[in-house]
Copies of this chain bind each other. A is one copy, B any other.
Amino acid sequence: MSEMTYAQAARLGLQEEMRRDPTVWALGEDLGYEGGMAGQYSDLQAEFGDNRIVDTPISESTIMGAAVGAALAGTRPIAELRFSDFAMCAVDELVNQAAKARYMFGGQARVPMVARMPIGIRGGIAAQHSQSPEAWYTHVPGLVVVTPGTPAENRGLLKAAIRCDDPVVYMEHKGLWGMTGEVDESDQSEIPLGTARTVRDGRDITIVSWAAQVGVASEAAEVLAGEGVVAEVVDLRTLWPWDRETVMASVAKTGKLLVVHEAVRVGGFGGEVAAEVAEELGVPVARLGGERIPIPFSIPLEEAYKIKADRIVARVKEMLA
């Protein structure tokens, strides 16, 4: 077991998979010298060469489109888009090509690629660098959507994403790059895609979340615990497929659901989870998410956007009242 950051754990997972499988490679801007936005590729070009850690032109459409072609032709590319915001420059290639090739071609093709596109707010990078569009990709048949929440998960889920034969949208949260945690280097297994993690057991309400918001939800649960409310906190980890069984079992036990995400509430994935639970169990459900505003720059404005623990606490109390 070693303590490492979320970024280091991702780097380790990638390095291990590249050592294991010579067809795994990565392409994107500034992967070589810079080593990626948070060092998640650092020094890998020295180890694997510049044809496996490929510095590309600023050509997002082609980063994504080339990954599709390379996956169709027998390799396992990781397309690094730096920000999920820039990945919007390549939505067509992801949605119209990567996600559909296997189906349109009647099963002749597989597209084993990872489209890596960090999400989330991090210190004033504002409207075009802070978005969390994970809900979009859950709506696209063919795609798998992963949102790791801890260092260990950023290694184990990345390994799973790389080994997966489907195109995986892999969304690290920029606010977590520096988060530290224990990673068991001796364990080379992947974390199965589609399995949630119960972060905290509870009985009064289930709080479902993912990515950076899991920490905030846990903080809220801690506060609530001090007031005698025992909340169960579930980290979905994978949004498609999401772990319906774990969530339904939890809500069946607690009788109430609150979904919390950093993404804008309107049209967010919280609606999917809440609606499914309401349909199946008929229990009270609620969602917290960002207001429907672009992410602002200035501290008090950015703070005004965020879902803090106190808002979660207040919402839970309302639901239990």
Interface residues of A (CB under 8 A from B): 85-86, 88-89, 91-92, 95-96, 99-100, 103-104, 126-128, 133, 135-136, 138-142, 240, 263-264, 266-272, 274-276, 278-279, 282, 284-287, 291-294, 296
Contacts and interface: CB of A to CB of B under 8 A. Distances in A.
A210 to B, nearest CB: 14
B104 A126 contact: yes
Given A88-B91, A285-B279, A139 B128 contact: no
Q: Which 8 pairs across A and B sit closest by C-beta, in order of nearness?
A: A139-B267, A271-B271, A278-B278, A274-B275, A138-B267, A88-B92, A91-B91, A271-B275
Give the interface centre of A266, A270, A271, A292 by most chain B CB atoms within 10 Å: A271
A140 B268 CA distance: 10
Nearest to A142: B294
A136 B138 contact: no
Nearest to A282: B284
A234 B53 CA distance: 53
Contacts of A267: 135-136, 138-140, 240, 269, 272
Contacts of A293: 103, 141
A100 B294 contact: yes
Contact of A294 (B88, B141, B263, B278): B141
Given A88-B95, A135-B267, 6 more contacts: A85-B96, A133-B136, A240-B267, A267-B269, A267-B272, A278-B285
B264 A128 contact: no
A211 to B, nearest CB: 16
12 contacts: A88-B91, A100-B127, A100-B294, A139-B264, A139-B266, A140-B267, A141-B264, A141-B292, A274-B275, A275-B275, A279-B284, A282-B284
A275 B88 CA distance: 27
B266 A270 contact: no
Contacts of A272: 266-267, 271
A116 to B, nearest CB: 17
Contact of A287 (B126, B268, B275): B275
A127 B142 CA distance: 11
B285 A275 contact: yes
A65 to B, nearest CB: 11
A266 B138 contact: yes
B268 A278 contact: no
A287 B100 CA distance: 24
Given A100-B128, A103-B127, A294-B99, A274 B278 contact: yes
A86 B93 CA distance: 11
Nearest to A296: B103
A240 B293 CA distance: 13
Contacts of A133: 136, 139
A142 B89 CA distance: 18
A268 B91 CA distance: 18
